[in-house]
Structure 1
């Protein structure tokens, strides 16, 4: 049940493109982490910069599937597509919990060496989003 706040699309503004932001996410002492096998979510709550003219989303995401875990690019791409679709469908869970003037930076990391069904991946993403929204 999507809300007007969270459209059911995944736009460029909702993806982490900045190497600096990625480094901040993984090197910061304020980052938090949760696991729901086969996924791990790493997130950080940041204050939104004043005077930024470009539109921003309350949550920016990153999806990482290691070549060490899944050797074939086809498998890595499928897994990223599954996680992206599950997040797109259920992002409203997290969007409504982000405080005004802040943004959440969220990274999904794949932990398993095998593929999973889309419904199982979706259940894990929803589980992580609910647990993160409780902690925000």
Structure 2
């Protein structure tokens, strides 16, 4: 059964986990995103992935723009995440993922959907 929700438990909120992720995690880029990820050792809830989104104040001084970028990213993730979730659950693995928006302009939703799709496929292949 496909679920298209994006619950609070799926969001990466733990400051400790975010610090560890940026310190010890691996990264790759799929323009306009820089993706930092890390496999989790101990289970962090019932969802196989915890994900966070960000856009920098330096590139987008207006909060409206930063919020729009994050909202579009979360929506694209929400609609396509199921395949990655199924794959990770079948291998009983968990990931922490952080997506940082790096472009200087706000991309349209269809472009972001394509890029998130590429990111999800790459995340399936990571060890």
TM-score by length of 1: 0.85
User: For each residue in 1:86-130, what CA deviation from the matched residue of structure 2 results, as whole angstroms up to 9, or x when unmatched?
Assistant: 000011121122231x31000000111111110001110111111
Cα distance, 1:58 vs structure 2: 0.6
Q: How many residue pairs align between the two structures?
A: 125
In the alignment, which of 63, 71, 79 is matched to residue 69 of structure 2? 79
Partner of residue 128, structure 1:
119
Structure 2: any 5+ residue segments left out of the alignment? none
Bigger helix fraction: 2
Partner of residue 24, structure 1:
20
Moved over 3 A (4+): none
Q: 2: CA distance between counterparts of 1:43 and 1:66?
A: 18
In the alignment, which of 119, 123, 129 is matched to residue 110 of structure 2? 119
Q: 1: CA distance between counterparts of 2:94 and 2:122?
A: 17
Partner of residue 45, structure 1:
39
Provide the secondary structure at the position in 2 that maps to 1:42: strand
TM-score by length of 2: 0.91
Alignment of 1:9 onto 2:31: no
Cα distance, 1:46 vs structure 2: 1.0
Structure 1: any 5+ residue segments left out of the alignment? none
Cα distance, 1:20 vs structure 2: 0.3
Cα distance, 1:47 vs structure 2: 2.0
Q: 2: CA distance between counterparts of 1:64 and 1:78?
A: 11
In the alignment, which of 25, 35, 58 is matched to residue 29 of structure 2? 35
